[in-house]
Structure 1
Amino acid sequence: MNRRRGASALTLICAMAILSAPGLAHAVPAPEPAPGATSLEDVRKQIEDLYHKAATATDAYNLAEEEAKKQSDRIVFLANQIVAGKARITELKNRAGAAARAQYRSGGLPPGATLALSNDPQQFLDGADRLRQGEKATMGVLGELNATQADLQRYAAEASSRWQTLESNRIKKDAAKKEIESKIAAAKALENRLLAEERARLLKLEQDDASRKQTRWLKSGALKDINSKASAAGKLAIAYATRQMGKPYIWGAEGPRGYDCSGLTSQAWLAAGHPIPRTSQEQLRLLPHVPIDQMRPGDLIIYFDDASHVAMYIGDGAMIHAPRPGRFVTVAGAGSMPIKAVVRPDA
């Protein structure tokens, strides 16, 4: 039964891919052969490799972006704590100053000496009690003053460290952005060299390659024991993801205009009430893993050895994902790329 469902899903996926193929572009002058390419299949592999490298850099960019936001938020918190601490120190110093001025008005004698010179026993006892309270209060003020000053030093040191980390993440983001832009530009340059008919054939080669991989995956018996149903949260995540179909892949994007692969999955599960890590690598690292034969709709499939791509399983051997630049959020075969792991956001 599952094999028949898988075959039906594959037919649906292929049909959708054909229906969603972009219209043919106007012909351009005959292109020069791509460097090192002897056929259109070679060009396809070169383009695929470039986009894969761009996806890896995108994950690095997203991670640096997420870390930079955390550092910025922490720096704002520390700045507020420092401001509050300085105000508290001013208040404590004023209180200590008031106590000193009071002693000066009493003739400069320490409170203990003033009590010792008293001729009234009751006044002495009352004064002794006030003295103990005053000394306790004074010690409290001094202790809090020292603690607050220590906190300020700690906040300042942490803020300095956070600024250094923030700068480090900015450098990582800049490097990743340059890597992404260079790979995407190189891939687009290869595609732009092609005639309109060749671009259509290139898309067909991509679809055929995905179909062959999906067929091998299905024939391996991968769906044989998969019969789980989506959880309530999983259904909400799938509903969100499917509503995004047709929107463009945009690297670093989390919607609503477009998405990268992990932007789509993280926002889908956020909409389902389960915030998850932003990047595919962090999703792999931090979310619970499940065996493929226990996979259920809503689970996330992590692809490639470097975990550079992620998609959401929707059942019947199919997944939904944001493929790459130049493509749109769509349904594809869950086995059309090498699966590294399956993770469950609502385990």
Structure 2
Amino acid sequence: MSGSLLRLACTAAVAAQAVLAPVPAAAAPEPRRSVAELLTDLQRLYRQTEQAAEKYNATTEQLERQRAEVHRLDGELAHARLALQGSRTDVGRLARQQYQNSGGLGPYVRLLLAPDPQAALDEGHVIGELARARARTVARLADTEKRKDTLARAARKALDTQLVLAGRQKKQRDDVRTELAGVERLLATLTPEQLTAVARLERQGVAEAQQRLTTAGSLPADRPASPVGARAVRYAMEQVGKPYEWGAAGPDAYDCSGLTSQAWSQAGTPIPRTSQEQWDRLKRVPLPQLRPGDLVVYFPDATHVALYVGNGRVVQAPRPGERVTVSPLASYPVLGAVRPDDQAPATEAR
């Protein structure tokens, strides 16, 4: 926790005084919780907020892809309808021609009565070609009808999916706001002394976790970044000081995976948007083999991510109320690491 947490706490306290009903004088005071309990509660709430935010991010990505698919299908359907109109015009023309020629002699009678049988045979060949052309026109009409119907069904289904995703996104947005409200309510109950003690305890826990990684030999040795990794690090470091905002991917604010995905995109190597997709789809590397630019993923369900910058430190967008900052690698419980610029299949790091 940091000075920015204190600022968030002050804001939350003012908001709470404005909206919370006063406690009756006869109400019994709540039992005083220890600093460790307060820290545990805050960390749980922050983690729940980030879990909800990452779900929101994933759905937002799906919704954007679905909107593009609906747009593509609508375009194809419009072209199919124009083609169908053209095919129907051609078939109508053929029908009129067939009706106008229906009173004439048939091809076999014309052949028998022709003064020049070879000329009649040549004419019959032309007639056969015309018949085949008519058959192709009719077949094209049938195919266009079928394609139009198929595209119409696909477009309706795609639009239904888009509406489902939009509803899910709204619910997940509401979930994030609910979790953030829980953080603010807890912060509003804390005194400045409690906030200072909680921040001190958290820093102590991070230092101990970092020391355990050092003792276990899990911290990486100094390694050079790849050229694209160096560009990703440079971009991420230029964002230091910008605020955390859930769902944001720059340029003015970021959430955790918004920062890492934008850093690599700006470096010329687009990667998945969410921390869970980054963990699932990028190549995993053991911590001792980390090089600057690799991503460190946190928590068992991969709901937080940071970008390794070297010397046992990461740059990250930590959580609501904080700003993009450089932190010890062990700021949160480490799940593992992935390397965006190595496209080998993902494997479990041992």
Separation in 1, partners of 2:74, 2:303: 36
Matches within 5 A, 1:35-184: 38-109=33-104, 112=107, 115-116=110-111, 118-184=114-180
Gap change, CA 1:114 and 1:194, over 3 Å in 2? farther
Offset at residue 193 of structure 1 (A): 2.2
Equivalent position amino acid for 2:65 in 1: K
Gap change, CA 1:109 and 1:283, over 3 Å in 2? farther
Separation in 2, partners of 1:34, 1:79: 62
Offset at residue 115 of structure 1 (A): 4.9
| Bigger shift: residues 152-161 or 230-239 | 152-161
Offset at residue 175 of structure 1 (A): 2.3
Partner of residue 211, structure 1: 207
Separation in 2, partners of 1:24, 1:309: 21
Matches within 5 A, 1:9-48: 38-48=33-43
1:309 maps onto 2:304 in alignment = yes
Gap change, CA 1:253 and 1:35, over 3 Å in 2? farther
Partner of residue 276, structure 1: 271
Q: Secondary structure at the match of 2:335?
A: strand
After the TM superposition, which parts of structure 1 deviate over 4 Å for at least 4 consecutive aligned residues?
17-29, 31-37, 107-111
Offset at residue 143 of structure 1 (A): 2.1
Contact map agreement 1:223 1:293 (CA 8 A) in 2: yes
Aligned match for 2:318, one of 323, 338, 343: 323
Offset at residue 209 of structure 1 (A): 2.2
Offset at residue 105 of structure 1 (A): 3.0
Contact map agreement 1:24 1:196 (CA 8 A) in 2: no
Superposed CA offset, 1:121-155 (max 9, x none): 34323322322322222222222222222222221
1:290 maps onto 2:319 in alignment = no
* TM-score, with length taken from structure 1: 0.86
Gap change, CA 1:58 and 1:115, over 3 Å in 2? farther
The CA RMSD measured in Å over matched residues stands at 2.8
Gap change, CA 1:303 and 1:147, over 3 Å in 2? same
Offset at residue 181 of structure 1 (A): 0.9
Q: State the aligned residue count.
A: 329
Gap change, CA 1:220 and 1:124, over 3 Å in 2? same
Aligned match for 1:257, one of 249, 252, 256: 252
Structure 2 gaps of 5+ residues are: 18-22, 343-350
Partner of residue 243, structure 1: 238
Separation in 2, partners of 1:131, 1:138: 10
Partner of residue 341, structure 1: 336
Contact map agreement 1:34 1:190 (CA 8 A) in 2: no
